[in-house]
A and B are shown apart, each in its own frame.
Chain A
Amino acid sequence: EPEVTQTPSHQVTQMGQEVILRCVPISNHLYFYWYRQILGQKVEFLVSFYNNEISEKSEIFDDQFSVERPDGSNFTLKIRSTKLEDSAMYFCASRDGPLTDTQYFGPGTRLTVL
C-alpha cells in the first residue's frame, strides 16, 4: 500500500542553524501538508500546498518557515535559524483530491534543537 515517507526520522541541530525536513508524498496525490506536534501537545497545522504554491498557512508558519516541491516527488519544509521552541515532531501529509478524501500522514521527523 502506498505511504508517505519522511526523512530523517530524527534530526538534532544547534540553535540558529537551518534544517530541511523531507517528505515523499503518495505519488498521485495533489495536496500536501505539514503539521507539527510539540511533546505533550496537540497536533497543529502549519501549511498546505497545492499546484506549486501555498494554499493556506497558520500563524505559526512565519518567515522562519518555507516549503518547496523541488521535483515531482519531494516536498520539503525548511526552518531557518532554529529556536529551542521549534523542537517537535513534524508530520507531512498528502491527499489525493477533494476535501472529502483522507489525508495520509507520514511517520514524522523528530526535530531536537539544542
Chain B
Amino acid sequence: KQEVTQIPAALSVPEGENLVLNCSFTDSAIYNLQWFRQDPGKGLTSLLLIQSSQREQTSGRLNASLDKSSGRSTLYIAASQPGDSATYLCAVMGYYGQNFVFGPGTRLSVLP
C-alpha cells in the first residue's frame, strides 16, 4: 500500500528566502506526482505535475523534481513571498489505481 510522507510538517521563513519541501513515497510504481497548494479552508490548487518519466518541472518560481527510484520529490520555491503562505501537498498516482494518495502536507509561513 502506497504511503506518502512530507517533511517538514511546518516551516517558517523570512520573505525572500529560497526553500525546499520534501515528499517521500514508498512504492516507486507511479504514473505521476503532483504538488498542490491548499489555503486554509479552501480547495486544492494544482501547482506542478511530474510524469514518472520526467525528472523535473518548472513554473515561475517553483521547481519540482522527481527521483522515482528513491521514492522522493522536492518542491523548490525561489524568493519566497508572504503570498506563498499555505499548506503544500504532494500526491502520487500509482500504477494500480486511478486515485491520488496524498501526503499530510507542509504548512509554510513566509514572514514579511
Chain A residues with a Cβ under 8 A of chain B: 31, 33, 35, 41-45, 48, 55-56, 58, 89, 91, 99-100, 102-108, 110
Contacts and interface: CB of A to CB of B under 8 A. Distances in A.
B69 interface: no
Interface in B35-49: 36, 41-46, 49
B98 A99 contact: yes
Nearest to B93: A99
B32 interface: yes
Interface of B is mostly: strand
B43 A106 contact: yes
A107 B102 contact: no
Interface in B92-112: 93, 97-105
Interface of A is mostly: strand
Contact of B99 (A41, A48, A106, A108): A48
Contacts, number: 55
A56 B44 contact: no
5 contacts: A35-B99, A43-B89, A91-B43, A100-B31, A106-B43
Given A45-B100, A48-B98, A99-B93, 19 more contacts: A31-B98, A35-B99, A35-B100, A42-B103, A42-B105, A45-B97, A45-B99, A55-B98, A56-B97, A56-B98, A56-B99, A58-B99, A100-B31, A102-B46, A103-B46, A103-B100, A105-B44, A105-B46, A108-B43
Contacts of B98: 31, 33, 48, 55-56, 99
Nearest to B45: A105
Contacts of A89: 41
Contacts of B63: none
B64 interface: no
B28 interface: no
B102 A108 contact: no
